Amino acid sequence: MRAVVLDENGAPELCDLPDPGGPGVRVRVLGCGLCGSDLEKLGRGGVLGHEVAGVLEDGSRATVMHRVPCGECARCRAGHESTCDAFAEVRIAPGGFAEELRATHVVPLPDAFGELDGVWVEPLACILRAAESVPRGRVLVVGCGAIGQLWVQVLRARGDEVVAVDPRADRLAQARVGDDGASVGAAVVTAHGGVDDALRRLEPGGTLLVFAASDGAVPVALDAVYRNELRVLGSRSATPASFAAAIDLLPELELPPVVTLPLERFAEGVELYRRGEALKVVLTP
């Protein structure tokens, strides 16, 4: 079975692997989305690929949950499931960029889903969980990549007035969103350029939701946090409940365009994504 996994130096390589065995069921992979968090693992280590559209042995469509909270500990009960100790364990092997994988937690998908639509379930589930922490009203989305574009739609679907910023006009046009420069009650950070501007635009008592990892020090105007009594919070990853919500909402959204490449062209997919030439890369076996 062919799979792209990280070698001992954290470099991705296409290997021929035996059936990974272990717990869980076999999933034949139709496609797997490349996520920003996969790029963070390059040169470091970890399991690549978690945004999976697949088929179970009975022919039914499914996606997988690569991490699962225990649901019972104090952090889970407080709504911080992604910090639960159980959440650290990866539940898929060898990862999503493979012809087949094993997963302990599969989530059935409706037959009506397009063949690769399942790759959007996990990212959308992360957004829906985070959106619960974003007060309704006027919301600024910082960054209009694939994730920012989904955020715009999710917030509009619930009735928010949405404005967005992105250094790239083509992405703002794709998201069909503009910006009047006025103040907002909340801001969602999906990319780190412009965080400080977002903070300064928040109305008193406003919320800044951090939805993207930062690969370096991002300066934050703490004085604005203090004087305007702002709330700064983070949200990372998804829960079983938000997976279910994502599967319900997905058919109503306009999914961003994807560049589909075979596993052999993994490195090219990484470059397209890094250079911003592809909004979303999906690898197919």
Q: Which residues lie near Zn ion (CB under 5 A)?
A: 35, 69-70, 73, 76, 84
Pairing of strands 231-234, 202-210: parallel
Residue 87 DSSP symbol: G
Which residues, 6+ apart, have CB-to-CB distance to 158 below 8 Å?
131, 136
As a whole number of angstroms, the distance between CA 279 and CA 119 comes to 14
**Of residues 78 and 222, the one with the C-beta less far from Zn ion:** 78
CB of 55 to Zn ion, least distance (A): 20
CB of 72 to Zn ion, least distance (A): 6
**Tokens, residue 136:** 């309704």
Determine how many CB atoms are found less than 10 A away from the CB of residue 170.
Answer: 11
CB of 76 to Zn ion, least distance (A): 3
CB of 18 to Zn ion, least distance (A): 27
Contact 183, 201 (CB under 8 A): yes
**Of residues 138 and 284, the one with the C-beta less far from Zn ion:** 284
**Of residues 78 and 173, the one with the C-beta less far from Zn ion:** 78
Contact 126, 205 (CB under 8 A): no
**Of residues 53 and 199, the one with the C-beta less far from Zn ion:** 53
**Of residues 73 and 232, the one with the C-beta less far from Zn ion:** 73
CB of 229 to Zn ion, least distance (A): 31
Contact 91, 64 (CB under 8 A): yes
Using omega within 30 degrees of 0 as the cis cutoff, is the peptide bond preceding 167 cis? no
Of all helices (H) and strands (E), which one includes residue 180?
none
**Of residues 88 and 112, the one with the C-beta less far from Zn ion:** 88
